[in-house]
Amino acid sequence: MSGSDILGIAVSGLRANAFAYGVVANNVVNANSPDHQPREVRTISQVAGPDPGGVRAVAVDKGDAQVDVAGELVSMIQIETGYAANAKIANTAQELSGSLLGILA
16-74 per-position pLDDT tens digit:
999 999 999 999 999 999 889 999 999 999 877 666 688 989 999 988 788 999 999 99
- What are the structural domain ranges in the chain? 3-104
Nearest to 14 by CA among 88, 71, 72, 95: 88
pTM: 0.82
- Paired sense of beta strands 39-45 and 55-61, if any: antiparallel
Query: What's the mean pLDDT in 3-24?
Result: 90
DSSP structure string for 26-42: HHHHTTT-TT---EEEE
